[in-house]
Each structure stands twice: as structure tokens, then as C-alpha cells.
Amino acid sequence: LTLLGIESSCDDSAAALVCLDGERGEVLSSIVMGQEELHAAFGGVVPEIAARAHAEKLDLAVEAALAEAGLRLAEVDGIAVTAGPGLIGGVLSGVMLAKGLAAATGKPLVGVNHLAGHALTPRLTDGLAFPYLMLLVSGGHCQFLVVRSATEFSRLGGTIDDAPGEAFDKAARLLGLPQPGGPAVEAAAATGDAARFSLPRPLLDRPGCDMSFSGLKTALLRARDRLVEAQGGLTAQDVADLSAGFQTAVAEILSAKATRALRLYMEEAPAAPALAVAGGVAANGAIRSALEEAAAQAGARFAAPPLKLCTDNAAMIAYAGALRLSLGLTDDLTLSARPRWPLDEGAAPMIGSGK
């Protein structure tokens, strides 16, 4: 099965072709057209601007993905598209394009949950067997999922406030470092002393797999303000030490909660236990090694897909769509775009379904 995938739920206009041969998926092409420069001046993604850019770029992304794979639209077996969750204008652009292509070619249409795309990626890249444990940790998400099949996901817990990527971005702003904050904080932390400032580890004393990161950011703000008051500004060493303290706190929270999530997951006695990570924050070396350590201690394999398949892309949508199509799960032209769509809620939304 060869699927075209279309993704436009945030600020990347993406299209890809993926071939599913039995159990094995292969990425034939993957085009991601970012919009950073359009949103840079606003300090965040502007939904209206994102929607317009998707409307302008998505069909070009589809053309480029077909060209890179050396395929014509007539040769694909189906059209998969992110139907949510995400910024509604962007999701709508993708869904409208996919419906148009499906109607014009008579190919099956497959609505895919964006989070399912992320969650299934380690199966595509590392061949993980179901069920595996997944930590999705990005700019907008932070949750532990047990991935049971292409269509069944159980959420064990997640952040109750900020996502870690968002926290890294805010931390960078507080410290006068550039955006995106994650890589900048990680670079500054390399020469820092994590023990100099004592930052909190919220929710670690509570049972369960829920996490909180907003208190950490407030503590960082206070530590910074105390320094500014005492010495009139921050030295490069202060920034390094604060960055290291912050990064270590995030890594410890994630690994402590991963240990709990692993314990719950291992109770099911999975045949080939594995912990996988996805999302931009998984690029962080300190966080990655903390999670790798937690997996090793629990006796689980650790998998981290290549970064370009960890962050938003359409290959994951094409792959998830191919899995759905192989199970006979398709959608018709009543498929609708949905801003919120929890992963454990099943099939794609339909127009008039009241969801």
C-alpha cells in the first residue's frame, strides 16, 4: 500500500509518501515546509497566518512529495490527512485538499489523529512490537501512552499545565536566549552547574503519571530576579547555571514519571517491552539519557526515532493512514476537521456528528 499523507495542524505544511509492505513501512518522500519566518515577529504561531500559509503551500508540498518519490497521484492507494487535533484553520486546509484529491481520483480517504501519527512513528522507524510505551514530549504535548495497536491507545498521564518544549521556550526568554528555546538552553547548560540553584520538581511526591512544569518556570524567574537585583544583571555563568538547573529538573521529572509509567506498563508483561520517545524535546541529550536509563532499569528497550520524524511531518500521517487502510478503516467526504480530539476517542470525526 502506498499512501499520500498530508499534515497541516500547526505551523508546518507537510506532505509525504509512505509504502506499507506487510508489517514494514518505508518513507518514499517527506516534504516539510515550515513557516517560522511568518510567525517570528509575533513570538508564537498566529492561527490566521498559519491557515493562509497552509492554503498556499499544501498543494505545492503534495507536488514536491510526489516528485521526490517519482510517483503520480494515480499510483497511490489512498490519501491520509490529519483531521485533528490542532489549529482548526490549518487542519481544515489539509482536510479540504485531501477531500478534493480523493473525490477527483476516487482514492480512499483516511482521516488520521495527529497524535496517533506521532505515537505510531517508533513502529515505522524502529519496528517496535505492540504494546509499547510512548512518551510524546513536544512544544504542545506531554503524555505517556501505551500503544496497543494502530487504533488503540491508553493514556497513562500527562502534563497538567505547560508542555516541556513550551517551558524550555519560556525559560530561554527569561534568560535572554534565542528561540526555539530548547536547543539554546541545552547549549548554555553544557557549561553550567545544575546544583547551584535549587529548583522544584512539582508533582513528584504525588502518585500517578501526571506532570507539571509551570512552577519550574516561575522558580526560574524568581532565581533570575534575585540575581538581577543583587548584581544588576546576569553573567554568562549565571545563565549557564540556571539553564543547567532547569534542564536537569525537567529531565528528572520526566525520568521519574517514566519510571512509574514503565512499572504500570510492565505489569501487562509485554513480550518485547520498549519505551519510545517522540517530539522536539526528545532531541535533548540530557533528557534522552535520563529516559534511556529509566528504560534500562525497567528492562525495556529504548527507541528514539530520527528527529525529522519525531517533530511534525506527514510521513507519520501517511504511515498511520496506511495502517488504518490495511484494516479497512476509511472515511468518506463527511470527514470533518476537529480542533480537539483525544487519542482514546477512536474514529475520525464526521460532519454533523456533534463532536
Enter the DSSP assignment of 284.
-
Question: Which residues partner with 23 through β-bridges?
Answer: none
| Rounded Cα gap, residues 344 and 96, in angstroms | 25
3-state SS class at 2: strand
Cis amide leading into 131 (omega within 30): yes
Could you tell me which stretch among 51-59, 199-207, 309-317, 336-344 binds Fe ion (CB under 5 A)? Answer: 309-317
What nine digits make up the cell of 177?
536566549
Q: Among residues 166 and 241, whose Cβ is nearest to ligand ATP? A: 166
Of 5, 69, 73, 62, which Cα lies nearest the Cα of 33? 62
- Closer to Fe ion by CB, 11 or 312: give it: 312
Among 8, 311, 313, 330, binds ligand ATP (CB under 6 A): 311
* Contact range with Fe ion by CB under 5 A, out of 180-188, 227-235, 307-315, 326-334: 307-315
- Beta carbons within 8 Å of 117's beta carbon, 6+ residues apart: 7, 82, 316, 317, 319, 320
Q: Between residues 243 and 330, which has the closer beta carbon with respect to ligand ATP?
A: 243
Under the criterion CB under 6 A, does residue 169 sit at the interface with ligand ATP?
Answer: yes
Q: How far is the CB of 169 from ligand ATP (least distance, A)?
A: 5
Site for ligand ATP in 141-160 (CB under 6 A): 141
Residue 284 assigned to a binding site:
yes
Q: Is 138 annotated as a binding residue?
A: yes
Q: Which of 7, 238, 312, 331 binds Fe ion (CB under 5 A)?
A: 312
- CA distance linking residue 258 with residue 182, whole number of Å: 20
Give the whole-angstrom CA distance, residue 157 versus residue 137: 12
CB of 90 to Fe ion, least distance (A): 12
Interface positions with ligand ATP (CB under 6 A): 10, 138-141, 165-166, 168-169, 180-183, 186, 279-281, 283-284, 311-312
Interface positions with Fe ion (CB under 5 A): 312
